[in-house]
């Protein structure tokens, strides 16, 4: 049996009424057009379109989509034209193939400004016919599965593009299985050591505890049977990239992550979902704050499921998802549910939602004259984030991304409310504006006449809408101040490069950067939307920062007054690359805190002491001390290897203290000097990969805030 027969048989299994003749004709036409072409692996090129069509057939797609997959590279890479495809097949298929070709030619891994414009084009193309995007996603998935045959630099480019664009797009369109695989394939290329370290930890954990998934699945199956709830149950360890992302988000080591296993319960009816939830919670203790009901409050892409996290066997936390079979189809196939067939008939799923509405609302909301970088930021935020649902005092439900703050809530209601936001109450209690909102909370925004947005709000806000509104207000309200600050930043940057920031030099830089006026460029500098280094390099592109040219530590922080000095807070130990804020102390200068430092809550009612700060661009010296807490096995040579690992990352150990000594492990406290947050992450990643490190965390202690002033 040949490849054409295999594909036709696969399509017949779900669509007996398929137009077999047209699929075979497309197969023959594609093979003829790609004759003599080969992939990097040496295989005939047409094996790729066949694999893409097979992926879509597994999703039970319609004939037009499958034929488009077989022909998706013909207009771009062969002598076939749009007219040839239209004449031989149909106008519909020719337009679909042409749409895939245009998406392919967008070059989405280019510079940020061009990438933003390409994002806009991507969404405009997607809104015309979603099948174009489905073919492109399947095309990217097969290319990522066979990426090893590409050059290393090409692999890295494609993997980053996949991680930034195609994986989140697949997730937003409801195709979570594809997002998971795309992320893992990209992770394999971008950080093979990180991925392998997680896999090694899993293997070690399985040797120590046995097959945890099988044991917990058995326990849950028994509970459901006892409650007489018919359901299918499956469990698995989470993907390496999913675990890695949790480690980065929570700043925790592998051993401290609890919910690394996921379980899914598929019931017959919606009422059975809630009965199953009751059975699970009756047997195991629910983890507070980890319950989400996406059945009563579905996601915008139609996803419905109940999520809960419980303390399972041996106290291990496990995530449980509960949904019906109909909900499961949407959760697995997402937008593909709109085009899938069964027994020759289009499947109607009452839970499927057309993501075109989301894409259209995004493109409608962001005008053509919108700033490119802001558009890109808004799109990425829309694609990456999960949602929480909060209530206004009137009972209106406001959907926000996970991690949203009261500032985002205020701007979601109206820009006027956001601009005048003075404070917020969550469930009746006054909270700081940087508080992360949770599902089901009731939010009341406190406004005041004369109140205006602060620069720090940009770092606190999560939604693109809020950030855009804040930046727009600040640009208009503080334009003169930003221009003066930008001029000073430009002067310092040019002096550090041995040049002078003359009027002519600044005009030349603005012209090179395609900025209309010098004042506009300086305003961007002053508002931290552009680095001073980029202005210098616009005129002197070969003027790279030499290894010895480090940022002057006295000028490491931007935003201080002429006579103000600064010191890093000991409670949070901020490092360059992290968001920061300053608190003034009479006679003590300004103490610099991370934006999420718990100690800032003590100054909430003293806004006059807050100073808007950000780190100076450029290379910082390895003089920023941070504290790490480690637990290591008590074996010969382990401590030496830990010190060597830190040294290999070009970091210096300034202090080391043993906190606890046991027969089987040591707990110790290490002070390490690093340059910036990326340097810190490299140090922690190297330690995480060491099998003798059982726990690792960055030490932050709000009680040490007062020590900074001593």
- The total of other beta-carbon atoms located within 10 Å of residue 342's CB is 12
By DSSP bridging, strand 624-633 and strand 693-698 are antiparallel
In sign, the C-alpha dihedral spanning 263, 268, 269, 271 is negative
Catalytic residue chosen out of the listed positions 77, 180, 268, 550:
77
Q: How far apart are CA 238 and CA 228, in angstroms?
A: 29
3-state secondary structure at position 606: coil
Q: How far apart are CA 698 and CA 594, in angstroms?
A: 13
Chain Cα centroid distance, residue 401: 12
Q: How far apart are CA 12 and CA 344, in angstroms?
A: 8
Q: How far apart are CA 64 and CA 48, in angstroms?
A: 18
Report the half-sphere exposure of 226 (CA within 13 A, side-chain side): 11
3-state secondary structure 2-17: CHHHHHHHHHHCCCCC
Whether 412 and 365 have beta carbons less than 8 Å apart is answered as no
Q: How far apart are CA 174 and CA 383, in angstroms?
A: 11
The span from the first CA to the last CA of the chain, in angstroms, equals 81
Judge whether 655 counts as a catalytic residue. no
Whether 370 and 363 have beta carbons less than 8 Å apart is answered as no
- Calculate the dihedral angle through the C-alpha atoms of 341, 342, 344, 345, rounding to the nearest 10 degrees: -70
Task: Name the residue with tokens 């296993």.
Answer: 261
Q: How far apart are CA 171 and CA 166, in angstroms?
A: 9
Q: How far apart are CA 597 and CA 702, in angstroms?
A: 7
By DSSP bridging, strand 317-324 and strand 261-267 are parallel
3-state secondary structure at position 153: helix
User: Cα–Cα distances in Å, from 469 out to 190, 363, 453?
Assistant: 35, 17, 9
Give 612's strand partners.
581
Chain Cα centroid distance, residue 270: 31
335-339 contact pairs (CB < 8 A, 24+):
335/130, 335/133, 335/134, 335/173, 335/174, 335/175, 335/301, 336/56, 336/59, 336/60, 336/61, 336/134, 336/175, 337/174, 337/302, 338/130, 339/61, 339/62, 339/65, 339/130, 339/131, 339/134
**Largest separation between any pair of C-alpha atoms in the chain:** 85
Judge whether 73 counts as a catalytic residue. no
Helix boundaries (H) for 531-672: 532-539, 638-648
Catalytic residue chosen out of the listed positions 32, 35, 63, 76:
76
| Structure-token pair, residue 562 | 């002429």
Among 279, 286, 270, residue whose Cα is nearest residue 323: 270
Whether 82 and 75 have beta carbons less than 8 Å apart is answered as yes
Report the half-sphere exposure of 306 (CA within 13 A, side-chain side): 21
Helix axis angle for 192-209 and 240-250, nearest 10°, is 100
The catalytic site residues sit at: 76-77
């Amino acid at each position: 049996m040949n490849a054409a027969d295999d594909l036709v048989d696969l399509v017949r299994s779900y669509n007996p009424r398929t137009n077999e003749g047209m699929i075979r004709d497309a197969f023959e036409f594609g093979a003829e057009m790609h004759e003599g072409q080969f992939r990097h692996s040496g295989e005939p090129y047409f094996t790729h379109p066949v694999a893409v069509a097979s992926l879509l057939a597994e999703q039970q797609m319609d004939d037009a989509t499958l034929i488009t997959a077989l022909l998706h590279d013909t207009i771009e890479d062969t002598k076939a034209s749009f007219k040839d495809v239209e004449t031989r097949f149909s106008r519909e298929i020719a337009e679909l193939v042409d749409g895939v070709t245009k998406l392919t030619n967008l070059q989405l891994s280019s510079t940020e400004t061009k990438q933003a414009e390409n994002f806009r084009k991507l969404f405009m193309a997607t809104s015309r016919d979603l099948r174009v995007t489905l073919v492109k996603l399947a095309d990217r998935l097969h290319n990522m599965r066979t990426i090893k045959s590409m050059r290393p630099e090409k692999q890295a480019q494609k993997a980053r593009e996949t991680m930034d664009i195609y994986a989140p797009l697949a997730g937003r369109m409801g195709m979570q299985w594809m997002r998971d695989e795309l992320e893992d394939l990209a992770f394999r290329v971008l950080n093979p050591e990180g991925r392998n370290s997680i896999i090694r930890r899993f293997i070690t954990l399985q040797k120590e505890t046995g097959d945890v998934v099988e044991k917990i699945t058995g326990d849950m199956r028994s509970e459901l049977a006892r409650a007489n709830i018919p359901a299918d149950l499956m469990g698995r360890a989470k993907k390496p990239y999913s675990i890695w992302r949790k480690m980065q988000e929570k700043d925790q080591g592998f051993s401290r992550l609890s919910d690394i296993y996921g379980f899914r319960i598929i019931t017959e009816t919606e009422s059975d979902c809630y009965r199953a939830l009751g059975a699970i919670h009756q047997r195991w203790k629910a983890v507070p704050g980890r319950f989400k009901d996406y059945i009563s409050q579905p996601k915008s892409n139609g996803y419905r499921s109940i999520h809960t996290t419980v303390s399972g066997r041996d106290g291990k936390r496990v995530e449980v998802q509960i949904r019906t079979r109909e909900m499961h189809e949407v959760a697995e196939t997402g937008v593909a549910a709109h085009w899938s067939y069964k027994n020759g008939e289009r499947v109607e799923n009452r839970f499927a939602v057309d993501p075109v509405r989301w894409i259209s609302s995004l493109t409608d909301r962001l005008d053509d004259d919108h700033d490119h970088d802001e558009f890109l930021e808004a799109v990425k935020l829309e694609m990456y984030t999960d949602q929480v649902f909060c209530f206004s005092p009137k009972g209106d439900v406001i959907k926000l991304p996970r991690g949203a703050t009261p500032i985002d809530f205020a701007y979601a209601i109206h820009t006027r409310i956001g601009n005048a936001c003075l404070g917020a109450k969550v469930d009746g209690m006054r909270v700081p504006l940087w508080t992360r909102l949770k599902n089901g909370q009731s939010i009341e925004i406190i406004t005041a006449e004369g109140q205006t947005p602060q620069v720090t709000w940009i770092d606190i806000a999560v939604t693109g809408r809020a950030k855009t509104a804040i930046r727009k207000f600040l640009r208009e309200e503080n334009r003169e101040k930003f221009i003066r600050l930008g001029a000073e930043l430009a002067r310092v940057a040019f002096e550090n490069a041995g040049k002078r920031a003359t009027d002519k030099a600044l005009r030349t830089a603005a012209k090179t950067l395609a900025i209309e006026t010098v004042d506009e460029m300086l305003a961007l500098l002053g508002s931290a939307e552009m680095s001073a280094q980029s202005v210098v390099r616009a005129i002197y592109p070969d003027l790279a920062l030499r290894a010895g040219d480090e940022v002057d530590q006295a000028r490491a922080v931007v935003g201080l007054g002429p006579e103000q000095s600064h010191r890093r807070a000991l409670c949070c130990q901020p490092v360059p690359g992290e968001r920061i804020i300053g608190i003034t102390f009479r006679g003590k200068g300004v103490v610099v805190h991370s934006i999420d430092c718990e100690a800032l809550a003590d100054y909430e009612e003293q806004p006059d002491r807050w100073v808007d700060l950000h780190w100076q661009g450029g290379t910082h010296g390895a003089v920023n001390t941070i504290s790490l807490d480690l637990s290591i096995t008590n074996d010969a040579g382990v401590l030496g290897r830990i010190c060597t690992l830190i040294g290999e990352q070009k970091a210096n150990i300034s202090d080391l203290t043993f906190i606890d000594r046991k027969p089987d492990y040591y707990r110790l406290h290490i002070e390490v000097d690093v340059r910036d947050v990326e340097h810190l992450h490299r140090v922690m990643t190297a330690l995480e990969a060491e099998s003798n490190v059982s726990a690792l965390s960055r030490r932050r202690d709000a009680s040490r805030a007062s020590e900074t002033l001593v």
